[in-house]
Each structure stands twice: as C-alpha cells, then as structure tokens.
A and B are shown apart, each in its own frame.
Chain A
Amino acid sequence: MKRSTRIMLSIMLIIIVYIFVFFAEKYMDPFIKRILNTGFIYVILAVSLNLINGFTGQFSLGHAGFMAIGAYTSALLYMSPESKLSNFFMEPLISPLDKIHIPFFWALLIGGLMSALMGFIVGAPSLRVRGDYLAIVTYGFSEIIRSLFNNLQNITNGPLGLKGLPTYTNLWWTVSWAIVTIIVIRRIVDSSYGRALKAIRDDEVAAENLGINLFKHKVLAFVVGAFFAGIAGGLLGSLLMTIDPNSFSILFTYQIITIILLGGLGNITGSVIVAIGFAFLMEALRFVEMPMKIFGITIPGILGMRMLIFSILLMITILFFRQGLFGQREFTWEGFFRLFTKRKVSQ
C-alpha cells in the first residue's frame, strides 16, 4: 500500500471520528459523554507513559506528578480572577497569577510545557539509575511534587485544592489531544529516534556502543511523555471541575500502568483500546457497590468492592497476560484490510 493511500485513509478515519464527536456532543447522554471524556484523557496518559515505559524501557512511576503540574499550571492560568479570589481565602494567591486569565488552549499548552520541563529534570537522573531504582526515583519525584503542592498555600491553595474550575473540557478537546498524542508519538516511534529508543530498551550497553546518545534519547522520552501527561492533567482538571494534590497520588499512576500493561508494553493500539475500555469498566464496576435485589433478596452494596475487583484484574493481567491483551500487534491499514480480503498477503 502506498504511503499517500495510508495517509488518506488515516485522514478519513479522523474525519469519521470528528463526525461522531459532532453528534455525540449534540445528542449523547451527559453521563456517557463524561465517561468518554475520561476515556480519551486515559488514552493521552497511557500513550504518553507507554513512550517512556514501553518503548524506552525506563520504568517511570512519575506520571501522576506530571499530571499534577499540568493540571495546576493550566488551572491557575484559565481560571477567572474572581473565581481564584473565592478559592484562596486562607492566603491570597501570589501576584501576578491572581490577575492572569488566558484562553484554555494556551493555558493547557503552558501546563504541558511546565510538565515537560519537569520531565527534563526527572529524566536527567535516568542516566545514573536504572530499572527498579529509576522507578523509585520517579516515585520520589512524584511524591515531592505532591508534598510541595500540599504546602505552597499561596500558589496551589494547599490541601484544599482548587474548586469551581470552569468546564471547558469536552469531546472536541479530549479527542483532538488524543489524536495529536497518538500521531506525535507514533511519528517518534517510527522514526530513527524510535529505533534508538527501542534499542535502549532492549540493550542499553549495546545501544550506547552503537553510538546512540543515551542521555538525549532518554530525556526526549521523558520530556515528550511529561508534556502530554501535563496536557491530560489540564483536561482532567477542567473535566472534574476540582483538583487537589491528593487526587494525583501514586494510585493514578498505577491505573495508567495497568492500562499499558493490559494493552501491551510498547503497543499504542493496545493502550488506546484498553484506555477507553478501562474508563467504561471503572464505571460499570460501580454497580457492585450498589445494593442489588435478586429474587426478592436485597444484597447490600459492599464498599470498596470496585477497587478490589480492579486490583484482582490487575494481578491477573500481571500474572497471566505478560504480553498484554494485544501483544505487539499494532493497528495498520494493511492489517485492517486483510481482515476483509481472504487473499494471502506475501510478507
């Protein structure tokens, strides 16, 4: 298949997605829309973490920290000065943040860039520590961010968090950013950078001996991954309308890791499908916590059951689906058409 054909097909797919978004925004139930928005935010998070963990093999536990930076930076930029004033009653917000009010898009972008800067800082030590030690370092960074946000009362409003965030996030935003994330990361992965990243994942010493600049590539993965995590954080803040430091705990990172493990490390298609499925599953599992009536007998809802089932699913994935549900099978147009034509395609 020619490259131009593939691009045309991809553009058509994107147009179809936007037609769907157009009708979904108009007619869809707000509850389903909310789940879809969450799902697409998970897509951004999972694909970006997959670049660091799956393609580069740098096991990072810092995604929640990157999200927090993006969420707070953008919220402080797009919230109106009046709404900020009503939030900060313990200590006033420092100047000039209290007067700034910029459009959502630019606020998101700056949030992403701040997060990317943090990605650079976190990525730098990845040269010195490896494997599970890097996991601990990134976990440490994420906890430091949370601790700072809990205490910088005059910037983040401390543990009280920010409330009454304007809801800009809708499917147009989340779908567009998800598409941008997928395209950018797919482009990186398919380029010579991507081959270098995979070489680092497979054998760091050999990669270095081949002349691959370890620092440059590892930091690239962290910076790009953190940028999109920051964007996702900004989108999530505006979707939930409230943020506080403790909602960006390590638990959130675990959820994203679950998604990429289920989808397959280093598999973008898997991450996308599982991320949306995950958003629906987490909602569906809410029913187990509600009281049920079966044959006239009322079974009381058990609190915490949802997370217990989730953690059992996580363990099953880790133990039995080590390649994820999709393994290394990526979505390609050739593969897509092969589903319909029974002809044998020569490799």
Chain B
Amino acid sequence: MDWSLFLQHMVNAISLGFVFGLVAVGYALVYGVVKLVNFAHGDVFMMAAYFMFYTSLIFGAPWLSAVILGIVLTSLLGVGIEKVAYKPLRKYPRINSLVSSIGMSFLLQNFAVVVFGGIQRSFPVPEPMKKTIVLGEVRIQAVSIYTIIFSIIVVLILTFILQKTKTGLAMRILSRDFDTARLMGINVNRTISFTFALGSGLAAVSAVFWALRYPQIFPFMGQYPGSRAFIAAVVGGIGSLKGALIGGFVLGLLTVLIPAMFPEYSGYREAFIFLLLVLVLIFKPNGLFGQEVGEKA
C-alpha cells in the first residue's frame, strides 16, 4: 500500500471513528448514570433521523431549524421512553431494564415500519456538505471535517455540563449511588430525565452526521450504529465519555483498515469486531481506558 492510499484510509477511518464515537458518547452517558445497557439507543437515533426528515419535509423548514427541532423532539422521546419503559422497573434487578430496552428497541423499529413505511428514503443533504476537499492525493469530504469539529465541541460541552454545573454534579453522584443521592436532596427523577434528554439529544446529533454520510434512512438503520456504539462504549471503558470516543475511533480504524489491508478477510470484519468486544469484556471488563469501578454485577 502506498503512502497516499494509507493516508486516505486513515482519513476515512478517523472520520468514521468520530461518527461511531459520537453515537457511543450518548450511549455511554446513559449507561454511566443509570447503569442501563440501552439497546434502544440505536432506535432513538433512527427516530431522530425520521423527525428531521419529516420536519424538513412538512414544514419545508430550513435545514438547520429542522435539525434543531429534530434534536428537541428526540430528547422528548428519550425522556418519554424512560418514563414508560425504565422508570417502573428501577427497583427491580437490572436485567429487567435490559429486557425492557430490548423490547423498546423492537417497538420503535416496528412502529417506524408501520408509521413511516419500510422503504428507504433519501435524507436531504445541504450543498456545503456535499463538497470534497482534495489535499494532494487525499480526498476529504466536508461532512467528515464537520463531524470531527462538532464531535469535539459536543464532547467539550458535555464535559463542561458534567464537571461544572449542578445538574452535572447530581448526575455524577447518581452514577455512584441512587440512595445516597436521594439523601443528599438530589431530585433523582429529574436528573435521570435530564440524562435521558441529553443522551437522546446526542443520539440525534450523531444521527445528523450519520445521515449526511449515508443519506439513506429506513426503520432498521439504527441497528448497525447502535451495536457499534455499544461495542465502542464497552471497548473504550463503559461509562467514560472519553473512552467512548476512543472506542469509536478504534472501531473506525478496524472497520476501514481490515478490508483495506486484508481484502480476502473483509467478510469477517463483523466477526473480528465482535470478537474484540467479547475479548475485552472477558479480560478487561472495565474497558481499555476505563477506570476500576468495582464489581460488575
């Protein structure tokens, strides 16, 4: 492989990695606070894409306002899902919420099939995003650059919320111990709602960048990025935002580089990635970059 081709692959890997990372950050945020393996994250992501698609279609809204409206609607959806599907199960074993999130994922997919139809629709991509920048022999899509810039901004904002605001502090306490948090006078329900709003909003933001990259939306589009997010978050160290971003990056590298370097094994890419997940969980359950959080039961 020559140098420019390698660079081209690296550029693709990094930009894909940031998209995965961005989905994973929303997922890891919810996991970190509520300790819920949220199988429905990918489907909230899918709903976000449809919200944006329909708001821009129905209201003929300008692109940016459709995106903002989409993010708001998705946040509300996330809060609603938590109220309906997770809150009633909070005092039961965690496995109940896990099954509930599987059911929710299933429900959202089938809801989308019935309401939006099972066919693929093309997502509107604004002109400036379609550009490609050529540097020497390396081609970079404008979308990739936007993705990287926005991912970094989003993670910085999140870090600020978590570290500097009162709600952020409440979320961090909640991630340690629910009962103590309640004793400290923290409104647990409100904080959890906020967490879900934030996590779903992040899913919506990542859905924008995903849909710009692959401008096809369909009811099952959330499965692939959803499972990637989940692997990225586990590999990077579940519950850690930085870990999720790095995990996404590792996945991006694997996804692009395996077929590029070993074309004869490209079909086994999925197997490799899931094998990585299984091995990390078995030998380093706290992830490659996560800190020790005690027994994972």
Chain A residues in the interface with B (C-beta under 8 A): 59, 125, 128-133, 135-137, 140-141, 143-144, 147-148, 150-151, 251, 254, 257, 261, 302-305, 307-308, 310-312, 314-315, 318-319, 322
A7 to B176 Cα, complex, angstroms: 53
Assess the A311–B103 pair: CB atoms within 8 A: yes
Assess the A308–B85 pair: CB atoms within 8 A: no
Assess the A133–B94 pair: CB atoms within 8 A: no
Q: Could you tell me the distance in whole angstroms from the C-beta of B32 to the nearest C-beta in chain A?
A: 14
Assess the B102–A257 pair: CB atoms within 8 A: yes
Contact of A303 among B118, B267, B268 (CB under 8 A): B118
25 contacts between A and B (CB under 8 A): A59-B95, A59-B98, A128-B283, A129-B285, A132-B37, A132-B95, A135-B98, A137-B281, A140-B277, A141-B278, A143-B270, A144-B275, A144-B278, A147-B271, A254-B106, A302-B114, A303-B113, A303-B114, A305-B114, A311-B107, A311-B110, A311-B111, A314-B103, A318-B89, A318-B100
Contact of B268 among A133, A140, A151, A257 (CB under 8 A): A151
Chain A residues closer than 8 Å to B267, beta-carbon distance? 147, 150-151
What would 18 more interface pairs be, CB under 8 Å, given A254-B106, A307-B110?
A125-B281, A129-B296, A132-B37, A132-B94, A136-B37, A136-B234, A137-B277, A141-B274, A147-B267, A257-B99, A302-B114, A303-B114, A305-B114, A311-B109, A314-B107, A315-B85, A318-B99, A319-B84
Closest chain B residue to A258, Cβ basis = B103
A130 to B282 Cα, complex, angstroms: 10
A129 to B227 Cα, complex, angstroms: 19
**B60 contacts the other chain (CB 8 A):** no
A59 to B39 Cα, complex, angstroms: 15
- With A132-B37, A140-B274, A140-B281 as contacts: A261 and B85 at CB distance below 8 Å: no
Assess the A151–B107 pair: CB atoms within 8 A: no
A131 to B267 Cα, complex, angstroms: 31
> Chain A interface mostly helix, strand, loop or mixed?
helix
Contact of A315 among B94, B103, B275, B277 (CB under 8 A): B103
**B185 contacts the other chain (CB 8 A):** no
Contact of B282 among A125, A254, A307, A315 (CB under 8 A): A125
Q: Could you tell me the distance in whole angstroms from the C-beta of A280 to the nearest C-beta in chain B?
A: 20
Assess the A131–B282 pair: CB atoms within 8 A: no
Of A305, A311, A322, most buried by chain B (CB within 10 Å of CB) is: A311
A128 to B84 Cα, complex, angstroms: 33
Chain A residues closer than 8 Å to B89, beta-carbon distance? 318-319, 322
Chain B residues closer than 8 Å to A312, beta-carbon distance? 107
A310 to B271 Cα, complex, angstroms: 30
- With A144-B271, A315-B107 as contacts: A133 and B296 at CB distance below 8 Å: yes
Assess the A307–B113 pair: CB atoms within 8 A: yes
A199 to B168 Cα, complex, angstroms: 40
**B184 contacts the other chain (CB 8 A):** no
A308 to B227 Cα, complex, angstroms: 22
Nearest 7 Cβ contacts at the A-B interface: A304-B113, A151-B267, A147-B270, A147-B271, A308-B110, A311-B107, A307-B110
Q: Could you tell me the distance in whole angstroms from the C-beta of B67 to the nearest C-beta in chain A?
A: 27
A29 to B281 Cα, complex, angstroms: 49
A59 to B102 Cα, complex, angstroms: 13
Closest chain B residue to A141, Cβ basis = B278
Assess the A148–B94 pair: CB atoms within 8 A: no
- With A147-B271, A311-B106 as contacts: A131 and B277 at CB distance below 8 Å: no
**B104 contacts the other chain (CB 8 A):** yes
Of A128, A136, A140, A318, most buried by chain B (CB within 10 Å of CB) is: A140
Chain A residues closer than 8 Å to B84, beta-carbon distance? 319
Chain A residues closer than 8 Å to B113, beta-carbon distance? 303-304, 307-308
Contact of A147 among B92, B100, B268 (CB under 8 A): B268
**B88 contacts the other chain (CB 8 A):** yes
A109 to B266 Cα, complex, angstroms: 34
Of A150, A305, A310, A315, most buried by chain B (CB within 10 Å of CB) is: A315
Assess the B271–A151 pair: CB atoms within 8 A: yes
**B58 contacts the other chain (CB 8 A):** no
A304 to B283 Cα, complex, angstroms: 41
Contact of A140 among B92, B118, B278 (CB under 8 A): B278
**B297 contacts the other chain (CB 8 A):** yes
**B96 contacts the other chain (CB 8 A):** yes
Chain B residues closer than 8 Å to A261, beta-carbon distance? 99
**B218 contacts the other chain (CB 8 A):** no
Assess the A148–B271 pair: CB atoms within 8 A: yes
Chain B residues closer than 8 Å to A130, beta-carbon distance? 296-297
**B230 contacts the other chain (CB 8 A):** yes
Assess the B114–A125 pair: CB atoms within 8 A: no
Chain A residues closer than 8 Å to B111, beta-carbon distance? 308, 311
Assess the B274–A125 pair: CB atoms within 8 A: no
Assess the B282–A128 pair: CB atoms within 8 A: yes
Give the residues from 242 to 297 in chain B that come closer than 8 angstroms, CB to CB, to chain A: 267-268, 270-271, 274-275, 277-278, 281-283, 285, 296-297
